[in-house]
Chains A and B, each alone.
Chain A
Amino acid sequence: AQKITQTQPGMFVQEKEAVTLDCTYDTSDPSYGLFWYKQPSSGEMIFLIYQGSYDQQNATEGRYSLNFQKARKSANLVISASQLGDSAMYFCAMRGLNTGFQKLVFGTGTRLLVSP
């Protein structure tokens, strides 16, 4: 079975600083994808970044980058130059090729608060 673990229930960061949100995963799939979603207080789930298990380079999308360490089964999200609008819940998720690839399995989330 697939499992995503986010051990930080909450994180605080000052505006313009960088912050790392931790995510570890467990899967027996040889091929899988890792995702990060942002959920602001308004409730919608916003896709941020994707990393494939066979991708050689870490994914980047603007201020978001994914620190992918396959041997350690970790996929941490790095947000550079934090903004007030980054305050939200952040969810790590994965999807495996063989075991339930149709669905995303989510972690419990990390609440990020960005202060001025």
Chain B
Amino acid sequence: DSGVTQTPKHLITATGQRVTLRCSPRSGDLSVYWYQQSLDQGLQFLIQYYNGEERAKGNILERFSAQQFPDLHSELNLSSLELGDSALYFCASSVAGAPTNEKLFFGSGTQLSVL
């Protein structure tokens, strides 16, 4: 168990809908990352938050947004969902999010299926 909690584990929804994925980082970790894993794109970095502030942005669509709350949990909001958004969404956390040797601890992921 990595200590990173993601809910829900599975999510099935329809095109055009909006969903929220939740992540609780490991105790003491200030940095949260969101990744998308799909068969055609592999693991893609979406966004990183550090202590409540956005630190880095990757291949995140404008229909997607995220935030990190004062208690350090994070939510990833996906709206106007399309079939191609179906993927496994990972949250990861680390203590600081800066040093090159800092490893990321991943949650079990949320499997999103858009029908």
> Given A100-B56, A103-B33, A47 and B43 touching (CB < 8 A)?
no
Residues of A within 8 Å of B106, CB to CB, are 37, 44-47
Residues of B within 8 Å of A52, CB to CB, are 100-101
Total residues of chain A contacting the partner, CB 8 A: 28
CB <8 Å contact, A45 and B90: yes
B48: which of A35, A103, A105, A107 is its contact (CB, 8 Å)?
A103
Bound-complex Cα distance A50 to B2 (A): 16
CB <8 Å contact, B103 and A103: no
A33: which of B90, B92, B100 is its contact (CB, 8 Å)?
B100
CB <8 Å contact, B101 and A33: yes
Residues of B within 8 Å of A31, CB to CB, are 100
CB <8 Å contact, A47 and B100: no
Total residues of chain B contacting the partner, CB 8 A: 26
Cross-chain pair count, CB within 8 angstroms? 60
CB <8 Å contact, B100 and A102: no
> Given A42-B108, A102-B55, A103-B58, A32 and B100 touching (CB < 8 A)?
yes
Q: At the interface, yes or no: B98 with Cβ under 8 Å from chain A?
A: yes
In the assembled complex, the CB of A109 is this many whole angstroms from the nearest CB of chain B, namely 7
**Residue in B closest to A44 when the chains form the complex, CB atoms:** B108
In the assembled complex, the CB of A73 is this many whole angstroms from the nearest CB of chain B, namely 16
Q: At the interface, yes or no: A43 with Cβ under 8 Å from chain B?
A: yes
Residues of B within 8 Å of A91, CB to CB, are 43
A44: which of B43, B45, B107 is its contact (CB, 8 Å)?
B107
| Pairs of residues from A and B, 8 with the lowest C-beta to C-beta distance, nearest first | A45-B106, A33-B100, A102-B56, A106-B43, A103-B45, A44-B108, A47-B103, A33-B101
A-side residues, CB < 8 A to B, are 31-33, 35, 37, 42-47, 50, 52-53, 91, 95-97, 100-109
